[in-house]
Amino acid sequence: MMQATREQYITNGITIIYIYVLYGRQMTALKNMLQKYVL
State pLDDT tens for residues 1-39. Answer: 567 799 999 999 999 999 999 999 999 998 998 888 876
pTM (predicted TM-score): 0.52
State pLDDT tens for residues 18-27. Answer: 999 999 999 9
Give the pLDDT score at 37: 84
Element (H, E) at 34: helix 6-38
Give the pLDDT score at 39: 63
Give the pLDDT score at 2: 67
Give the pLDDT score at 4: 75
Maximal C-alpha separation, the chain: 53
